[in-house]
Amino acid sequence: MTWTRTGNLCEPLYLWLSSDGTCNRAPAATDRTLLQIASGDTTTMSGTLSLRASEALAATGQTCESQTTEKSFRLCASTNRFVGDIIGTTCQDSVSSIGTPTIDLVYDPEPPPVPPAPAVTGLDSALSATVTVPTGATLMAVEVLSLVAGEDGGTGTGEPLVSKEQTAANTTFRLDGLENGVEYAVRAIAIDAAGNRSQPSEVTRGTPIASEGFYGGYVGAGGAETGGCTAAGGGITGCAVLASLGIWLSSRRKRS
């Protein structure tokens, strides 16, 4: 992030991450000091800072692996102001926060809850999966896995064949590139704003089904192609009869 300051300093200026959310003090041993600017420094007026949760956690004696719950750090800028808050020679005794706006760095190691198994429908060379979004998820992922024979004689799952991510607002997935007539396993995974992924859901099985369209389904059900107009009585085709009736009715209306 980028920062700027104006005016002279009465005492050193500290840019730091507060482990308890308070900024009206100097940084302590459990805080992460990012930058210290001496009171006589009139050239360092802007710069950039790198905010790393791992370094902030280290100051508290934790690591990304050992910190298993959410932890927040507040970005602070604090110093002793001049008396009267104007340029002078006398400094206030207390340290004040001078950083705006308020910025919090949140370390979130907790994954969202495991979602329920998706609802799956077979399509032509594809599957449609509808997911339920658990609390805290901003993205949802759906994976299609092959079914393989298990060592105990049952059926297990292989490696993911198709994987797709969508925003949590879009709960229906179309998963293409599958083989019709083959059964697959489908599972859902929830992802939060920090990128934490939940454990996979239970699987739902689904099978892509070939679609022949309306005519193919009609023929497959025992229908037959008629080939256009059929023969009508008297040797005149049905179309000709309709045409003749149309002229006859028209002429009748004219005479009336």
DSSP state of 11: S
Residue 27, pLDDT > 70, answer: yes
Q: What is the pLDDT of residues 129-161, one digit of tens each?
A: 999 999 999 999 999 999 998 777 788 899 999
Q: What integer pLDDT is reported at residue 154 of this predicted model?
A: 80
Q: What integer pLDDT is reported at residue 87 of this predicted model?
A: 56
- Kindly state the average pLDDT of the residues 169-177: 97
Confidence of residue 218 (pLDDT cuts 50, 70, 90): low
Q: What integer pLDDT is reported at residue 4 of this predicted model?
A: 96
Confidence of residue 191 (pLDDT cuts 50, 70, 90): very high
pTM of the model as a whole:
0.66
Give the helix ranges, DSSP H, for the chain.
53-59, 213-220, 238-255
Residue 244, pLDDT > 90, answer: no
Return d(Cα 8, Cα 39) in angstroms, integer.
Answer: 7
| 4-18, 143-157, 238-252: least confident range | 238-252
Return d(Cα 42, Cα 34) in angstroms, integer.
Answer: 19
Q: Give me the percent of the chain exceeding a pLDDT of 90.
A: 70
Domains, the chain: 2-107 (no CATH), 119-206 (2.60.40.10), 213-255 (no CATH)
- Kindly state the average pLDDT of the residues 232-253: 41
- Kindly state the average pLDDT of the residues 195-210: 96
Highest mean pLDDT, choosing among 3-7, 184-188, 246-250: 184-188
72 by Cβ neighbours in 10 Å (0-12 / 13-18 / 19+) ranks as middle
- CA neighbor of 14 nearest in space, from 32, 1, 2, 30: 32
Q: What integer pLDDT is reported at residue 150 of this predicted model?
A: 75
Contact assessment for residue 33 and residue 19, using Cβ atoms and an 8 Å cutoff: no
- CA neighbor of 143 nearest in space, from 99, 95, 175: 175
Q: What is the pLDDT of residues 225-239, one digit of tens each?
A: 555 444 444 444 444
Confidence of residue 221 (pLDDT cuts 50, 70, 90): low
